[in-house]
Amino acid sequence: MERRDFVKLCAGSAAAASLPTPAEAYSLKARLHKRTRLVDERGAPFRLASMKTGVNYVFDYPFASTPCFLLRLASPATGGIDLQTEAGGTYRWDGGVGPQRNVVSFSAICAHKLTYPTRQVSFIGYRDRPSAASSTGKVITCCSDRSVYDPAAGARVVAGPAPQPLATILLEHGGKRDELFAIGTLGGEMFDQFFQRFGFRLELEMGSRARDTVAADSVVREMSRYSAQWAQC
């Protein structure tokens, strides 16, 4: 069997030495969920080589109803960035996967009031940087209250009211096979709050499957094929 020559976590756990550390701060560890292969809409492996730079891809993980962004950035994301959740959990984001370390993934549930891409419409997405945000490169913007997250910096908040970064989705890249796997999360997960607020609606749409963990495979779609409408702001 071909030796898997890759395994690169998007993030590891470490104390955030450079952040102002409240007395109650604590170090967050990665949470491993089901190892899920990312596939295209035909069920074939979704290969990194097929990813277009700057396109907003979406897949569901770690639950069948919780969307995540998958992005190929224009520049390497080398990580080493210390982040903190609203509750004081600290962690280090170790950057992207792939040969150029520019493939990153984050939960698409806004850390402010849980806006997320639905099948009907998405108010949150990867777009050109608004003038309020410094530096260059595309960002993840939530049109609900204009929070802006920088995907090249672990989805830290660069503008708006969001109290913490988007949760990181941990990826593996399968070297010669060029496959991508989601394996876990790191940071401020919002899944409990998400199901509390939207569980009834999700079950109407998806039945009991809404709270299931994803299957062995999860389908990656461009945002335009995940949500019928993409709201601009």
Specify the residue, 112 or 156, whose C-beta has the smaller distance to ligand FES: 112
Residue numbers 27-86 binding ligand FES by CB under 6 A: none
Cα–Cα distance, 37 to 40 (Å, whole number): 10
CA–CA dist 147, 96 (Å, integer) = 22
- Exposure letters 171-180 (e unless 16+ CB within 10 A, then b): bbbbbeebbb
- H or E stretch covering 122: strand 121-122
Site stretch for ligand FES (CB under 6 A), options 24-32, 112-120, 165-173, 194-202? 112-120
Task: Check residue 151 and report its DSSP letter.
Answer: G
> Does 202 participate in binding ligand FES (rule CB under 6 A)?
no
Decide if residue 92 touches ligand FES (CB under 6 A): no
Beta strand pairing call for 229-230 and 121-122:
parallel
Please, which residue, 176 or 201, has the CB nearer to ligand FES? 201
From the list 38, 142, 155, 219, which residue makes contact with ligand FES (rule: CB under 6 A)? 142
Selected range binding ligand FES among 22-30, 128-136, 140-148, 225-233, rule: CB under 6 A: 140-148
Selected binder of ligand FES within 62, 95, 96, 160 (CB under 6 A): 160
Please choose, out of 18-26, 44-52, 64-72, 107-115, the segment that lies near ligand FES by the rule CB under 6 A: 107-115
Alpha-carbon Rg for the chain in angstroms:
17
State the binding string over 115-134 for ligand FES (x if CB under 6 A, else -). x-------------------
Helix (H/G/I), strand (E/B), else coil: 199: helix
Q: Is the CB of residue 12 less than 8 Å from the CB of residue 28?
A: no
Q: What residue ranges bind ligand FES (CB under 6 A)?
A: 110, 112-113, 115, 142, 144-145, 147, 160-162
